[in-house]
A and B are shown apart, each in its own frame.
Chain A
Amino acid sequence: MRILAPLLEVRAVKKYYPLGRGLLSISKRAVHAVDGVSLRLETGTTLGLVGESGSGKTTLGRIIVGLIHPTEGSVMFEGQEIFSLRGKEQFSLRTKMQIIFQNPEASLNPRKTVRHVLTQPFLLHRLATRSEADERAYHLLEQVKLTPPELYLDRYPHQLSGGQKQRVAIARAIALGPKLVVADEPVSSLDMSVKASVLKLMNEIQSNLGLSYFLISHDLYMTRSISKIVAVMYAGRIVELAETDELFRHPAHPYTQALLASTPVPDPAIARGVSRNVIGEPFSPIDPPDYCRFSSRCPYKQDKCLQRSPQLEEIRKDHWVECFFPL
């Protein structure tokens, strides 16, 4: 039987962190980090998840690779609920999905050489002997353009630049030929000149290996350069979802518009004409209101927005918005 399920399906996922775990505390207050998110990702494509700090995007990314258990909801990978897997099955799932973290400084062990970092995946999963693993590591470095590889294999992370470290982290993530790579702000700690080359590399790897990226970023423009679909997250919810071009051409949620207008563009002719209308700051994620969560900052809010929560609705084909009055 052919599998018709998408590569990844996130179903109504919620993650609440209860507050006050003291003995006498009976408080039911909780931080709603992710509050009812559903998404699909097809093979070989990139979904960009954009949001600001505290929007829940990193939590969602970690739930997807099984690092955090959701409070509610499920994550299906190739038609299988990942949190029901145990033991060997769970272990082998790791060969199919991987994660790249924001800060390679922290995600690479300072006491291990590049060779160690890149041979471990093969050895842990018993997919190669030591000498085969060495050879694979060599090829991985070629793939991420750290050439000649022999120059880098025996270096420690502190002997690499930020961009080079992130390339090693990418090499580690693709080592076992995963189908899905969650990349959590993969370039935001890097300089502009390095950013572009790392993004270019990620694009190349995708077309060579046919893998999917779940790309988490705070930068809408950066996401555009690499994603097919963009989801905008605000206060634990997806507020807009559409194909990249459509989203940039017709941003329909006031928050998406605000994000676009707020990002300084490297062209004085454009940047000077931008007017901003988003005021204030987000609601606290502790017990958010049961009406529109963007209403505190929305220049277009009306009475209805303060009474009920909008739901994600399809306003055009494949263009979903969670707003009563999409623009």
Chain B
Amino acid sequence: MSDSLLDVRNLRMYFYGSSQVVRAVDDVSLSVREGEVVGIVGESGSGKTATALSLIRLLPPNARIVSGEILHKGKNLASLEETELRKIRGAEISMVFQDPMTFLDPLMKIGDQISESISLHQGKTSDLKVKVVDSLRAVSIPSPEKVLDYYPHQLSGGMKQRVLIAIALSCEPSLIIADEPTTALDVTVQGQILELLKTLVRKRRGLSLLLITHDLGVVAEMCDRVYVMYAGKIVEEADVSSLFKEPKHPYTQALLTAANSIYFVGREMVGIEGVVPDLTNPPSGCRFHPRCQYAMPICSEKEPILIDIGTSRAACWLYPKK
């Protein structure tokens, strides 16, 4: 795909413990095109956050990108020097985290936290304050001139999340990675933040959004294209309407059935039996096979690869290879 803004190929990122290796991201390939909202959906432990953090190499010391490429505008972020990467991180690709309370410095005024990021990447220009006010206005914070002098504790959760988005936007990035941006917020505030993110992507040319979430509702509302992750692997890729209309992978199907049984009346409640596997020692073959209702002998023997099924792609032995 030539119009890809971000192209991730066969990425592997492992965590190294004292005696074990956690294969958190295991051969993941994905792409984000210009102006696109792409979702990575999965349950806790599926590796979706680990994938997001790997993309800008925001990783703890015991984590290592073992192999693969992260191509962004002609550069491979996986092998880029740290000094070079810093110019991209926060400027070209920025991040919005789940919990706004922990990602703002409680002792620093809002205005300073935003200008820090701008001056770091663009130098101390004379119109710095104007830029800061503009970025607050862009995320619909009322009376931005006043909010500049606030400390984080003077803002509500929703307002703090808006500030984080303002920081992420401040250097006019081409890609924002948002990791569960609304999970810590109340429903009505969540709606406002989702609305804001949607408007931003629509309005700003060249801005793409990679949205990490566990919530299929958020996916349905926000995303153009979706990757479903399970146990460190992508098991399905589809455009949003195909994903919900005709989920291909049994895991996607089971997730949707579970969500629908809660959200729509009159359906019998169905969960998925079993637990997410331990990634130090994942199941052989297809990692979902111990929980899969369609499991066949081959599923535990050989690992399925992603193949085209209509407009979707899924990694499952149910679908015959052409």
Contacts and interface: CB of A to CB of B under 8 A. Distances in A.
Given A268-B244, A281-B156, 16 more contacts: A53-B186, A191-B214, A193-B43, A196-B271, A197-B270, A218-B187, A221-B262, A225-B261, A262-B188, A263-B187, A263-B191, A264-B194, A264-B218, A271-B221, A274-B221, A278-B192
Contact of B258 (A161, A192, A258): A192
Interface in A272-317: 272, 274, 276, 278-279, 281, 297
A70 to B, nearest CB: 25
A266 B244 contact: yes
A195 interface: yes
A250 to B, nearest CB: 15
The 8 closest A-B pairs by CB, nearest first: A197-B271, A264-B217, A262-B191, A193-B272, A52-B186, A266-B216, A271-B221, A191-B43
Contacts, number: 126
Interface residues of A, number: 45
Nearest to A191: B43
Given A53-B186, A191-B43, A281-B156, A264 B220 contact: yes
Nearest to A260: B187
Interface stretch (A112-120, A168-176, A198-206, A235-243): A198-206
Nearest to A258: B188
Interface in A232-272: 248, 258-259, 261-272
22 contacts: A52-B187, A163-B275, A192-B214, A193-B43, A197-B270, A199-B262, A203-B269, A218-B187, A262-B188, A263-B187, A264-B217, A264-B221, A266-B220, A267-B220, A268-B244, A269-B244, A271-B217, A271-B220, A272-B221, A278-B191, A281-B158, A281-B189
Given A259-B188, A263-B187, A268-B240, A196 B258 contact: yes
Interface in A183-216: 191-200, 203
Nearest to B261: A196
Nearest to B265: A224
Nearest to A160: B275
B44 interface: yes
Given A193-B43, A263-B187, A161 B221 contact: no
B190 interface: yes
B76 interface: no
A268 B214 CA distance: 16
Nearest to A248: B265
Contacts of B188: 52, 258-259, 262, 278, 297
Contact of B244 (A194, A196, A224, A267): A267
Given A197-B269, A199-B269, A262-B191, A268 B220 contact: yes
B217 A218 contact: no
A191 B159 CA distance: 27
A158 B263 CA distance: 31
B88 interface: no
Contact of B271 (A53, A161, A198, A220): A198
> Which of B217, B260, B270 has the most chain A CB atoms closer than 10 A to its own CB?
B217
A265 B217 contact: yes
